[in-house]
Homo-oligomer: A and B are copies of this chain.
Amino acid sequence: MKDCYPTRGGQEATTSPRLDPVAYQDWKPHAPITAKQLSHFDEQGFLVLDGLFDEDEIAQMQQAAFALLKDPEGIDEQTVILEPHDREVRSIFRIHRQCPSMGRLASDERITSIVRFLLDDDVYIHQSRLNFKPGFNGTEFYWHSDFETWHAEDGMPRMRAISASILLTENSEQNGPLMVIPGSHLHFLSCQGETPEDHYRASLRKQEVGTPDPESLSRLVEQGGLRSIPGQPGQVILFDCNLMHGSNGNITPFPRSNAFFVYNAISNRIGRPFSARHPRPDFIAERLIEPVRPVPSSLLAETA
């Protein structure tokens, strides 16, 4: 398969234009978002949605997530990633298959109808996880495009995937909220270096290969600015797979947690990695393609 977005070939870092649409169809009256929301997503690369879930639903999500943190009984050990400097849990992967209420949330039609509309295709879950950024010493997530990694290490051919981050704790300006570079999704930044063997083991804790160079980042910020996205529990942030994002560390006492689902278009299923010897394990990059069946919102509570 032709590599439309070469990266990590050992050459200089380069910036090239995106070759794929962002929103894969024009706005229509029956669309699950407004025309303004569609063009915001198209131009800025992200969309913030408040009020999708009611208080009870949010409480259920939080309960399910924090129960897993306290007692990860039954969770596959290899899916649990720890903070680089201590033993605190940073992420639990493949969460939609390991926790029924998270699986239900991942299929909730309030999210999936929008994602399916924007990608104009059926979708499946490429990756899912719970993220915990513990208080006091939660480490930063350095700037990255998810797509760069999914392309290089997982063999995702094109930019036709959307991530949903559902906040489980308040993200304030102080506890390391998501920061994005609006408009950065329109450029592909190739990265220097080559993917080391079993890179994922280290990179899930602290990424070092697959991060863009400072000059290119500065240029993107000059063009698009920089935006942090604080929000209340239950807030949903949808963002394009190629949007440059990251977050600062967190020395406050307040942990930052979210559920994270990556929806990839069925037509964009992953193949052989474009810049790595071996594909990453399935719990990080799903190879079993099961289209998401949207679950009506009224059913969310049932399996909580």
Contacts and interface: CB of A to CB of B under 8 A. Distances in A.
Interface string A227-262: 010000000000000000011111111000000000
Given A174-B226, A217-B253, A247-B251, 14 more contacts: A135-B218, A136-B214, A136-B217, A137-B142, A140-B249, A142-B251, A173-B173, A173-B174, A179-B251, A179-B252, A226-B252, A226-B253, A246-B251, A248-B248
B252 A249 contact: no
Given A136-B217, A226-B174, A248 B250 contact: yes
A253 B224 CA distance: 13
Contacts of A137: 142
Given A174-B226, A228-B173, A253 B142 contact: no
A174 B251 contact: no
A246 B226 CA distance: 23
Interface in A155-192: 173-174, 176, 179
A143 interface: yes
A192 to B, nearest CB: 15
Nearest to A173: B173
Copies, count: 2
Contacts of A253: 214, 217-218, 221, 226
A226 B252 CA distance: 8
A253 B219 CA distance: 10
**Highest count of chain B CB atoms <10 Å: which of A143, A176, A228, A248:** A248
Contacts of A136: 214, 217
Nearest to A221: B253
Contacts of A228: 173-174
Contacts of A221: 252-253
27 contacts: A135-B214, A135-B218, A136-B214, A137-B142, A140-B249, A140-B251, A142-B251, A143-B251, A173-B173, A174-B226, A174-B228, A174-B248, A176-B248, A179-B251, A179-B252, A221-B252, A221-B253, A226-B252, A226-B253, A246-B251, A247-B251, A248-B248, A248-B249, A248-B250, A248-B251, A248-B252, A249-B249
A246 B135 CA distance: 13
